[in-house]
Structure 1
């Protein structure tokens, strides 16, 4: 009970989800997508929500033979929208965690997210060829406060110099201008911002420090819809649709591929 209370507003009861037969009878699937998380979600030139998540949602709707309604959501309101029955499914890099699994149901993984070391091919204070090279007093690390890289550095690179900043643009600027040598973060969060610094010789180390699994969220207990989504996701992975959409929007292959798994 105390654990559920600690979840705060995420654990609040909501309206009953539309079951699968209602989605099919109304021929409408409502997908929550965050357009401020490129390239997962973004606004296109017609001011419509587009991106990797939109491509996936459109293909799911096509295979279900229903119309897709994209609903704009932000990170804080993704789960409340599900619980209030304002959307049927939610995308937007909603990482699978125990806390979230207590209040929503997940499909099988749609994609992964990989924690990596971002550095430069030249111009660093010391050579950086492997994560272990970060644990050097000469290495200058820069991080956004509260991100996944901070505890990793504390545990694995305590000898490095560390500067904590408030936002990603300032962090990338420090790296590009030579005031820092490397950072540790989620690869998918940095791919798009790096494109704003075309003249910098960026280098991402091959080693993956940690991987997280990201599924599609449905309201707790909406097993009929979840099971159909799992079958569709299996087909999207088996046929290469997910990987093709990933390469289209990220410009490279998924760092940690999702294995094709028929068990659902």
Structure 2
């Protein structure tokens, strides 16, 4: 796929600094480069494969994944360049509110709470939530989480789901909040937590690399699926929705689903 009008990370160099993959141009949102093309800032939490993650090749780090390819497709249609900032998930909506990003793509579910603070595009991918634990843990349903320590990503839909299971489902479990999914998986493997709630596509990627783990699907209740988040009243929403509809109609979204969710590891 062509890569024109898209900047995944700094073209010259990029480095991790305080948990952020920092791009060259930090001059704010909606800037124009030397040839007049407008650059939009996309904020993400690049620890969520296959949606977004950091890939290292030849000493160069680049953020890649399903969301990144969709952003590339939208950018090509609308004539933008895109700069990606990598921050913790719980900082994504504050980044929009503070004007440090034009949009967020991070496998984010458009919950009613989030809609009070940001606007969303149409859903571009539906997913399920799962429980990940060690093999032979005896955990196969939400009820099996009672009395256990459960890891969730801070600020995520999985954190909200865990709290709902506590408050509405009456499941007495301890919720352990962590910033990144790989940290959560390592905590399971080390036996410091009993299980975690992770989206199915993300969990599948970690299971391929960790056959000592198992997964169980949680029946869906309430909002699900991923959408693009924008600052309130952003003029980009309609244009992005149009581009997403074109990508759906052309089969491009389905091709990316096959690439990132079905073909990886085969």
Q: Same fold (TM over 0.5)?
A: yes
SS at match of 1:43: strand
Alignment of 1:146-225 (within 5 A): 147=159, 148-149=161-162, 151-152=164-165, 158=171, 168-169=184-185, 172-173=188-189, 185-199=198-212, 202-205=214-217, 207-208=219-220, 211-223=223-235, 225=236
1:73 to 2:87 alignment: yes
Name the residue aligned to 2:121: 107
Question: Normalising by the residue count of structure 2, what TM-score does the alignment of the two structures yield?
Answer: 0.63
Alpha-carbon distance in 1 for matches of 2:221, 2:138: 22
Q: Contact 2:30–2:38 at 8 Å: present in 1 too? A: no
Q: Would you say 1:239 and 2:250 are equivalent positions?
A: yes
Q: Distance in 2 between matches of 1:74 and 1:125?
A: 32
**Structure 1 unaligned blocks of 5 or more:** 1-15, 254-264
Structure (1/2) with the larger strand percentage? 2
Are residue 28 (structure 1) and residue 28 (structure 2) matched? no
Change (3 A) 1:84 1:211: closer
Contact persistence 1:115–1:209 (CA under 8 A): no
1:43 and 2:43 aligned: no
What is the rounded CA distance, in whole Å, between the counterparts of 2:148 and 2:74 in structure 1?
Answer: 41
Aligned to 2:19: none
| Structure 1 residue 203: Cα displacement | 4.8
Partner of residue 227 from structure 1, selected from 231, 238, 241: 238
Distance 2:97 2:147 in 1: 44
CA RMSD of aligned residues (A): 4.0
Q: Secondary structure in 1 aligned to 2:84? A: strand
Q: CA distance change for structure 1 residues 75 and 199 in 2, over 3 Å: closer, same or farther? A: closer
Q: CA 1:197/1:61 → structure 2, altered by over 3 Å: closer, same or farther? A: same
Q: Which moved more, 1:149-158 or 1:33-42?
A: 149-158
1:106–1:217 Cα contact (<8 Å) kept: yes
Which of 144, 149, 163 is the aligned partner of 2:151?
144
For residues 140-180 of structure 1, the C-alpha deviation after alignment (integer angstroms, 9 at most, x for no partner) is: 8662268324542675585x9x67666622564278xxx96
CA-CA distance at 1:63 after TM superposition: 0.9
Structure 1 residues 197-216: Cα deviation after superposition (integer angstroms, max 9, x where no partner): 2255x354485455523221
Per the alignment, residue 262 of structure 1 pairs with none
**Which structure 2 residue ranges, 5 or more long, are not aligned?**
1-27, 179-183
Structure number with larger C-alpha Rg:
1
